[in-house]
Chain A
Amino acid sequence: MEPIFIADPNQEAIADFEQNNSVFLKGPASTGKTTAAIRRLSNIISSNPGGISEPTLVLVPQRSLAAPYLNFLNQLRTGATDQVSVQTMSSLVRRMVDLFWPLMVNASIFKHPFEKPRFLTLETSQYYMAQIVSPMLDQGKFNTVSLPLYRLCSQLLDNLNKSSLVGFPYTEIGSRLSSAWIGDPVRQNVFFDVQEAVAKFRQLCLDGSLVDYSLQVELFTKVLWTNPTFQKYFQNQYRHLIYDNSEEDPPYVHDCLLDWLPGFESSLVIMDEKAGFRSFLGADPTSALRFADSSAKQFEFHDSYVSSAALIALRECLFNLQYCEPDPDVIRETLVFPTDRIRFFPDLLEALIASVDKLVGKRGVDPSRIVVVSPFISDSLQFSLENGLAERGIKISIQNPSVPLAQNAVSKTLITFAKLAHPSWQLTCDFHSVASSLSLAIKDLDLIRAHVILGGFEKERIRITTLGDIAEPNERIPANLAGQYFQLKHWLEDIDEDEPLDNFFSRLFGELLSQPGYGFHSDTQAGTSTAILMESYRKFHQALRPSQFSSQSELGRAFVDALESGLIPGMYLSEWQPRDPDAVLLAPVTSFLMRNEPVDYQFWLNIGSKGWYERLEQPLTHPIVLSRNWSIGRQWSAEEEQDYNLSNIEKVVSGLIARCREQIFVFSSVYNESGIEERGELLTLFQNLLRKSRQVNHGS
Chain B
Amino acid sequence: MAADYSLRPSQKKVLEYQKGLMGISAVPGSGKTFTLSHLAVKLILSASMEPEQEILVVTFSNSAADNFSTRIGEKLHASGLLEGFGYRVRTLHGLANDIIRERPELVGLSRDFNIIDEAETNDILKDLVAVAMEAHYDYLFNLISEDFNEKKQADIYRKEMPGLLQNLATNWIKTVKDEQISLVQLQDWLSDSHSNPLLNICLEIYKGYQAALNYRGAIDFDDLIRYANECLDSDVNLCNQLQRRWLYVLEDEAQDSSKLQQSILEKIVGKNGNWVRVGDPNQAIYESFTTADPNLLKQFIAREHVRSIDLPVSGRSARSIINLANSMIEWVESEHPNFSVRDALSQPFIQPTSPHDPQANPPSLPGNIEIAAEAMTAEQELIFITKRVKEWLELNPESTIAVLTFVNKRASEIINHLKAHKVPVSDALMKVPEETRNSAGAISLILKSVLDPTHAGHLGTSFEVFYRHLTESDHDPVRKGFTTSDPGAKEVIKATSSLIKALKFTEVYLYPPDYEWKQAFNGEELSDTQLELLHTYRQAVVRWHRAAILPLDQLILVIAQDLVLQSSEIALIHKLSGLINTLSQNNPHWSVLDLLQQLIDISKNDRAFGTFSPKNDGFNPELYKGQVVIATMHKSKGLEWDKVFLTSANNYDYPSGDAGDVYTGEKWFIEGKRNLEAELLYDLDALKTEKNGGMMLRQYDKQTARDDIVRDRLRLFYVGLTRARKSLTISWNTGRMKNLKAALPVQILNKRMIGDERST
Contact = CB atoms under 8 A, between A and B. Distances in A.
B51 to A, nearest CB: 5
Interface string B40-71: 00000000000110000000000000000000
A671 interface: yes
A637 interface: yes
A675 interface: yes
Contacts of A384: 557, 561
Interface in B209-227: 210-211, 213-219
Contacts of A440: 549
B454 to A, nearest CB: 5
B279 to A, nearest CB: 24
A618 B110 contact: yes
A347 B578 contact: no
B591 A460 contact: yes
A347 B570 CA distance: 9
B219 A146 contact: yes
Interface in A13-28: none
B104 interface: yes
A344 B571 contact: yes
A678 to B, nearest CB: 9
Interface string A564-596: 111000000000000000000000000000000
Interface residues of B, number: 81
A671 B568 CA distance: 11
Contacts of B672: none
B507 A446 contact: yes
Interface stretch (A73-81, A157-165, A178-186, A194-202): A178-186
A183 B548 contact: no
Contacts of B502: none
B507 A146 contact: no
Contacts of A617: 103-105, 110-111
Interface string A332-349: 000000000101111100
Interface string B172-188: 00000000001110000
Interface stretch (A249-257, A359-367, A531-539, A684-692): A684-692
Contacts of B454: 448, 451-452, 457
A47 to B, nearest CB: 51
B435 to A, nearest CB: 14
Interface in B416-474: 450-455
B104 A637 contact: no
Interface string A661-679: 0000000001101111101
Contact of A684 (B51, B110, B233): B51
Nearest to A640: B237
Contacts of A670: 84
B217 A151 contact: yes
A409 B554 contact: no
B105 A618 contact: yes
B367 interface: no
B111 A145 contact: no
Chain A interface category by residue count = 35 or more
Interface in A356-387: 379-380, 383-384, 387
A432 interface: yes
Contact of B550 (A409, A430, A688, A690): A409
A411 to B, nearest CB: 11
B604 to A, nearest CB: 21
Given A151-B110, A638-B102, A146 B184 contact: no
Interface string A416-441: 00000000000000111001110110
Nearest to B114: A146
A143 interface: yes
Nearest to B97: A676
A675 B571 contact: yes
A147 B217 CA distance: 4
Contacts of B230: 183-184
Contacts of A446: 507, 510-511, 542, 545
Contacts of B182: 186
B191 to A, nearest CB: 14
A565 B588 contact: yes
A451 B591 CA distance: 16
A684 B612 CA distance: 24
B235 A430 contact: no
B217 A478 contact: no
Contacts of A183: 105-107, 230, 234-235
Interface in A430-471: 430-432, 435-437, 439-440, 446-449, 451-452, 457, 460
Contacts, number: 201
A619 interface: yes
B451 A432 contact: yes
A650 interface: no
Interface in B122-156: none
Contact of A448 (B97, B218, B510): B510
A85 interface: no
Contacts of B183: 143
Contacts of A564: 588
Interface in B585-640: 588, 591-593, 611-612, 616
Nearest to B451: A432
Q: Which of A145, A407, A448, A476 is packed against the most chain B CB atoms within 10 Å? A: A448
B485 interface: no
A362 B553 CA distance: 34
A307 B306 CA distance: 56
A448 B108 contact: no
Nearest to A456: B454
Interface string B83-105: 11100100000100100011111
B90 to A, nearest CB: 8
Interface string B223-248: 00000001001111110110000000
A407 B233 CA distance: 41
A413 B549 contact: yes
B110 A476 contact: no
A379 B108 contact: no
B237 A674 contact: no
A409 B547 CA distance: 10
A379 B553 contact: yes
B267 interface: no
A439 B214 contact: no
Contacts of B238: 637-638
Contacts of A144: 108
A610 interface: yes
Nearest to A481: B513
A309 B407 CA distance: 66
A451 B550 contact: no
Given A346-B574, A460-B591, A447 B110 contact: no
Contacts of A439: 545, 548-549
A380 B453 contact: no
Contact of B574 (A380, A412, A431): A380
B68 to A, nearest CB: 13
Nearest to B454: A451
Contacts of A610: 101
A344 B568 contact: yes
Given A639-B237, A673-B574, 16 more contacts: A145-B108, A146-B217, A147-B108, A147-B110, A147-B217, A148-B215, A186-B182, A187-B108, A341-B83, A347-B570, A379-B551, A431-B591, A436-B548, A642-B241, A671-B612, A684-B51
Interface of A: 142-149, 151, 182-184, 186-187, 190, 341, 343-347, 379-380, 383-384, 387-388, 407, 409, 412-413, 430-432, 435-437, 439-440, 446-449, 451-452, 457, 460, 476, 478, 564-566, 610, 614, 616-619, 622, 637-639, 641-642, 670-671, 673-677, 679, 684, 687-688, 690-691
24 contacts: A145-B214, A147-B217, A183-B230, A183-B234, A184-B234, A187-B106, A187-B108, A344-B571, A383-B558, A384-B561, A435-B548, A451-B452, A451-B453, A451-B454, A478-B513, A566-B588, A617-B103, A619-B109, A639-B237, A641-B103, A642-B241, A675-B571, A688-B52, A691-B85
Which 8 A-B pairs rank lowest in CB-CB distance, beginning with the nearest? A638-B238, A145-B108, A344-B571, A183-B234, A346-B570, A447-B545, A638-B237, A637-B237
